[in-house]
Amino acid sequence: MRYTVKKLAQFSGASVRTLHFYDEIGLLRPAAVGANGYRYYGEAELLRLQQIRFYRELGFGLRQIAEIVNAPDFDRLAALKSHRRQLLKRLADTRTLIATIDKTIKHLKGSKHMKTEELFDGFSQEQQARHEQYLVNRYGEGMRKQIAASRNRVKDWGRKEWERSKAEAEAIGKALLGAKQRRLPVHAPEVQKIIERHYRWICQFWTPNRESYTGFAELIVSSELRKPYSAGDPDLPEYTADAIRQYARTQLR
């Protein structure tokens, strides 16, 4: 059975625009293209898309995924077993975090006293380490200095500063979503004003130039950073990235 891109998007959870993008970059080609220009996908493409979705869920960037699934020795069965192991590990970590939440609630209610170290059970530094290593792999060893500088800028932050920064990030995300829903082009002054706000927010942690801010746009599309940007709209990362590229071209050196 063959499926149109619209039908595939409906039951896979990937948007039509995302499927088109995967085709453009050679990550997921349709089995055939009809005379009417419609893309058609078969079982092999569905299984490949499943692999892509698994790797995206596990935090892999699109370039990494392409290298893996395009490798001559790629073994789908072995990959599925690997996904299962990683998801079971994630499930165990999630259960630990839930247990920590339950203990903390009881602690705050006064019904159970927690040891200091128990407050942080389940908080893994592995994810942060993986993200930092991704940046180093993508942009070179010089990125380690920027990571260190970023840590230094926020080393004295307390709860109030983190909550203020989080609220600002959420407000920027809502503004970008609203602009996209109104079909504003990324070069529109209103959209660029939102991106300027985004740039100022980023500058709390590090100060990007034209090249590095453009690189950050790529991370929003192809790395685990995609998740927070796609919460309200699966295509918002691409829209945001395009708007950032426009801002970097016109406002930064």
CA–CA separation, 97 and 121 (whole Å): 7
Same-domain status, 24 and 109: no
Q: Using 50, 70 and 90 to split pLDDT, how confident is the model at 119?
A: very low
pLDDT higher at 168 or 108: 168
Asked whether the beta carbons of 220 and 226 are under 8 A apart, the reply is yes
Write out the residue range of the structural domain in which residue 117 sits.
75-123
| Contacts (Cβ under 8 Å, ≥6 apart) of 191 | 176, 179, 184, 185, 243
pLDDT at position 158 is 79
CB 129 within 8 A of CB 59: no
pLDDT of 61 reads 76
CATH number at residue 10: 1.10.1660.10
Same domain for 186 and 109? no
Residue 33 falls inside a structural domain: yes
What percent of the chain shows pLDDT beyond 90?
26
The answer to whether residue 115 scores a pLDDT higher than 90 is no
Residue whose structure tokens are 């893994």 = 124
**Is the distance from CB of 235 to CB of 17 less than 8 angstroms?**
yes
Per-residue pLDDT averaged across 168-182, rounded? 93
Map tokens 């128990």 to a residue: 118
Q: What is the CATH number of the domain that holds 184?
A: 1.10.490.50
> What are the backbone angles phi and psi of residue 91, rounded to the nearest 5°?
-60, -40
The number of folded domains in the chain is 3
Interval 138-166: pLDDT, tens: 666 777 777 787 778 777 877 788 888 88
Can you give the pTM of this predicted structure?
0.51
Residue 112 shares a structural domain with residue 64: no
Residues 166 and 247 in one domain: yes
| pLDDT of 77 strictly over 90 | no
The answer to whether residue 7 sits within a structural domain is yes
pLDDT class for 124, splitting at 50, 70, 90?
Answer: very low
Question: How confident is the model at residue 180, as a pLDDT?
Answer: 94
Q: What is the pLDDT of residue 242?
A: 93
What's the pLDDT at 219?
Answer: 80
pLDDT of residue 120: 44
Strand partners, 240: none
The contacts of residue 114 (CB under 8 Å, 6+ apart) are 103, 104, 107
What gap in Å lies between CA 13 and CA 193, rounded to an integer? 31
Q: Residue 61: exposed, middle, or buried by beta-carbon count in 10 A (0-12, 13-18, 19+)?
A: buried
**pLDDT score of 133:** 66
Strand partners, 32: 40
pLDDT digits (tens, 9 = 90+) for 49-62: 998 888 887 777 78
pLDDT of residue 65: 85
